[in-house]
Chains A and B, each alone.
Chain A
Amino acid sequence: MGSTSEFSRRDLIKRAAALGLIAVPTMSALSACAAGGDDDDDKKTDSGGKGQKDAEMKPLNVDGSAPLDVVIFDGGFGQQYAKDAEAEYKKAYPKAEIKHSGTQDIGPQVQPRFNGGTPPDLIDNSGAKQMDLGTLVGLKQLTDLNALLDAPSLDDPKKKVRDTLRPGVVEMGQFDGEQVWVLYYAYTVYGIWYSKTNLQKLDEQYPQTWDDMLKVCEKAKKKGVAGWTYAGQHPYYLPFSLYPFIAKIGGADVLKRIDNLEPDSWKDPAVKAAFEAYYELYKKGYVLQGTPGLDHIQSQTAWNQGKALFIPNGSWVENESKKMTPADFQMAVGAPPSLDKSDKMPFGTLWASGGEPFIVPKSAKNPQGGMELLRVMLGKKSTQNFIKAVSSLTSLNGGTEGLSLPPGLASSQEALTKAGGNVVNPRLQDWYVTLQKEKIGKGALGEMMAGRLTPDETIKKIQKYVDDTRKDDSVKKYKHK
């Protein structure tokens, strides 16, 4: 006599299988992040004096036999420059074992190690999946890099590392107090990128006023070339030329108020004027057709192919699009054109700031080693190596002497010189990543440039995002000093 229960065996198995199927994906989503281990706080960061001579040789008190664990973001700059610097380190400390890893998934790779209390000694926390720096600082997970900044520089023992850096770099690494938690290694020039060759083909120069900009675009349009393109799927590239434009029109304080998330900071007339100007590019049909559907690589490619004249970007674009760029392209970067005579800042006002944030975790096994490697990287030799390899500047002031620079980099250098003291540095993208990239970028600016929002609607929408962020107590807030 067989058992005729309500469920047949097949039913039972089927149901179990179905439940298992449900369980697996939810599970992996749920349990991808489980905490473990303890943080051991405040241990290894003291740099006690061991005697004058020793200190000169090893200013950071590095244990030469300790292993060094380095994680590098393998993005636009690759990872070879770090490997080269590690080789230099190895020369100075032959006994040190160096463990190098390169990845594009910084967050998912490194975060569990923080959590488990065994983070690497030096991290290049960059790329789309970077860890939130504000949170790391807030949780006291990082080493104060002042020890490194006060150490003598590699090339000139009489100078401190601090004094060899470009202006603003140290401040960028500070959050609330005097401690410097982050050292930005690369130095990026943002702006409107173009090809001198393609402009010459139209008998034009880089436009210094917005009226000229519109004229150039009109001329190009008649020849079937678009004026502008941008990374439509990543509209947070638009601010690279738009924010300094706002600063130029209304003064650098407008950007500071925006960074500070002040109420009504986006309702400033300068913002509106800048938005109207950019919106006109769309309305007059100067934006390459289909741009809202392109990602950064696709838009850069279209630009390299001469389908569009201008693209808002950062100085990494030269290295990133190297393979697509025609030999006679003559890449160059331009500062935002003047809107009219009442602009608060002169033509040449530029956004330039540190890129590639390097951090040394607090509970690293060998934090001195991590800082020492940074010191090596900030030496002239490694800097020149970086400049040559990836055509970007580093935070070391200078370092370009005697090098023949590729056109884009040479133009960045020129633009920096021209800007002089008029360099702005909006911090929104470091302090409030989601607000900048997703909300302002994809939710508002991208929509405006695709013609789906008017400038007024855009401002209203952004202001609401900003107000929401200000009220959101799960987001740590920062202010300009």
Chain B
Amino acid sequence: MQHGKYRFIAGFLVVPLAIYGVFVISPFVQAIYYSFTDWTGLSSKFKVTGLKNYQRLWDDELFWKAVGHNVLLLLVLPLVTLGLALFFAFMLNVGGRRRKNAAVGGVRGAGLYKVVYFFPQVLSIAIVALLFKFAYNPNSGAINSFLSAIGLDSVRPDWLGDPDLALWCVTAVMVWSNVGFYVVLFSAGMSSIPKDFYEAALLDGAGRAQTFFRITLPLLWDTVQTGWVYMGIMALDGFAVVQIMTDGPGPDYSTELLTYYLYTKAFSDGQAGYATALGVALLIVTLIFAGVVMKLGRRERLEY
């Protein structure tokens, strides 16, 4: 019954594809076109300058610095966030001691922990960033006050004011605000793994680590992979946190990110053409990242 299948599918797809074309593809094409111009963003007049924006991009130290920071985030952020989320989710669902009538279960108070972990997800990222900005205040912030309280008065870092620390401070906040979502997501994934697998493993005498690496992780792989892509996109963005916490580039450009650099060029320097070239670069980085993740992550699907 293959006959006419494609025509049938296409019939349904005409309208959504048209909408997608107008609202998604065409701005893309337009943006790529603008990246070859000297458009300022303040007037609709501009002239085509060919590859000049890209040449400038190539020689732009700040651009490479921003790319460096983005790549660092791209590696660290998903790894830490998903790693923590997997650990927490495992402990909440499988990692508990055996209790009556249940072969597998979470640690005591798992329900409460889930709520606690998920809580940051309810807050807007602007609030989270502002909250941590106060916590990082080197004078009266919670973190340094805590350090003083436990007798570490001599160790009072400037946190967001120190170029060696600023990016890590921002990363920590991004991890904090995202980890809860993945705990819940992975919990959902884990609860669909049949209990008999765990029971069998327990009967064979497997410990927690073995259960995790031999059963949970492989069966959860699809979810992890999706999470990885999603987290990577968060890492490529990071605009709001950086804008609020370190007022953009941070001390000595230590927290400059591609998205913020693009924004500066477009909205304060009046160089929208160059900004679109940055946007295209961002797109390329994103596509490379997605490609790599999809390629590396491909595995045999396990049916259960």
Contact = CB atoms under 8 A, between A and B. Distances in A.
Nearest to B245: A233
A38 B44 contact: yes
A108 B267 contact: yes
A21 B231 CA distance: 10
A324 interface: no
A474 interface: yes
Most chain B CB neighbours (cut-off 10 Å) among A108, A295, A302, A442: A442
A233 B44 contact: no
B43 A39 contact: yes
Interface stretch (A83-91, A134-142, A207-215, A349-357): A134-142
Given A27-B24, A136-B270, A293-B136, A447 B252 contact: yes
A402 interface: no
Contacts of B140: 302
Nearest to B37: A35
Interface stretch (B26-34, B87-95, B101-109): B26-34
B162 interface: yes
A438 to B, nearest CB: 6
Nearest to B157: A293
Interface of A: 3, 8, 14-15, 17-19, 21-23, 25-27, 29-39, 107-108, 111, 114-117, 128-132, 134-136, 139, 141, 232-234, 288-295, 298, 302, 307, 433-434, 438, 442-443, 446-447, 450, 452, 474-475
Given A21-B229, A39-B45, 10 more contacts: A33-B34, A35-B34, A39-B44, A139-B42, A141-B42, A232-B158, A290-B139, A446-B252, A452-B163, A474-B274
Most chain B CB neighbours (cut-off 10 Å) among A14, A108, A233, A446: A233
Interface stretch (B74-82, B173-181, B194-202, B278-286): B278-286
A103 to B, nearest CB: 13
**Interface residues of chain B: helix, strand, loop or mixed (majority):** helix
Given A446-B251, A450-B158, A26 B290 contact: no
B156 interface: yes
B139 A37 contact: no
Interface string B149-183: 00000001011111100000000000000000000
Given A117-B44, A443-B252, A18 B226 contact: yes
Interface in B1-57: 2, 24, 27-28, 30-31, 34, 38-46, 56
Contact of A289 (B44, B139, B290): B139
> What are the 7 A-B residue pairs with the smallest beta carbon separation, nearest first?
A290-B138, A293-B161, A292-B161, A135-B270, A31-B27, A30-B31, A293-B158
Interface stretch (B114-122, B206-214, B258-266): B258-266
A130 B270 CA distance: 10
Nearest to B35: A30
A475 B268 CA distance: 12
Given A14-B222, A135-B42, A141-B42, A25 B236 contact: yes
A336 B254 CA distance: 31
B139 A288 contact: yes
Contacts of B264: 434, 438
Given A107-B268, A115-B44, A31 B252 contact: no
A438 B248 contact: yes
Contact of A474 (B56, B251, B252, B253): B56
B138 A23 contact: no
B233 interface: yes
Nearest to A439: B253
A233 B282 contact: no
Contacts of A117: 44
B251 A33 contact: no
B294 interface: yes
A27 B28 contact: yes
20 contacts: A18-B226, A22-B286, A22-B290, A26-B283, A31-B30, A33-B272, A36-B44, A39-B44, A108-B267, A111-B42, A139-B40, A233-B247, A290-B139, A290-B158, A294-B137, A294-B138, A298-B139, A446-B161, A450-B162, A474-B274
B43 A30 contact: no
B156 A290 contact: yes
B250 interface: yes
Interface in B126-149: 133, 136-140, 144
Most chain B CB neighbours (cut-off 10 Å) among A34, A35, A289, A475: A35
Given A22-B287, A33-B275, A136-B270, A293 B252 contact: no
A29 B268 contact: no
Contacts of A129: 267-268
Interface string B217-256: 0000010001001100100110000000011111111000
